[in-house]
Amino acid sequence: MAGTVALEILYFFDPSTHAFYPVCPLHQLTGLSCPGCGTLRALHQLAHGNFAAAWGFNPFTVALLPVGIWLGLREAIGITTGRRLPGIVTRPAFGWAVLVAMILFGVLRNVPMSRLLAAAH
């Protein structure tokens, strides 16, 4: 329920134009983009079906979208039928791989040569 309300807020209130959304303290203090910078704006664009703009704000968030959908479906099916879909993305190795990818993404998006990964601010 809380996730649905959060998505509705993100749908109707663009984080680029409304100041009540939190700001990234790392970006405020250093000008560097953390792996999560641009996620709210990316989710707003995804809610409107604009995948290209979402990718511009945070490609990592867009890349993990299938994982989020799988986990949501897995939980919904588990709640309604009592059976769960395979837990491929719930294995520890997958979690470690995502953590390593997130750290690499956070580093690479701040390297001048890889500005394609930088968050649009």
User: How does pLDDT run across 72-83, given as a tens digit for each residue?
Assistant: 888 888 888 888
Around Cβ 63, how many Cβ atoms within 10 Å?
Answer: 12
pLDDT at 69: 86
Query: What is the span of the domain harbouring residue 91?
Result: 2-117
How far apart (Å, rounded) are the C-alpha atoms in residues 101 and 27? 20
pTM of this prediction exceeds 0.75? yes
Distances (CA, A) of 26 to 31, 36, 45: 7, 10, 23
Q: Does position 121 have pLDDT exceeding 90, yes or no?
A: no
* The one-letter amino acid at 12: F
Rounded to 5°, the CA angle 96-10-114 comes to: 50
Number of domains in the chain: 1
Helix (H) or strand (E) holding 55: helix 51-57
pLDDT digits (tens, 9 = 90+) for 46-86: 999 999 999 999 999 999 998 888 888 888 888 888 887 77
Residue with the bigger pLDDT between 4 and 55: it is 55
Nearest Cα residue to 65 out of 76, 77, 51, 78: 51
CA end-to-end span of the chain, whole Å?
Answer: 30
How far apart (Å, rounded) are the C-alpha atoms in residues 30 and 32? 5
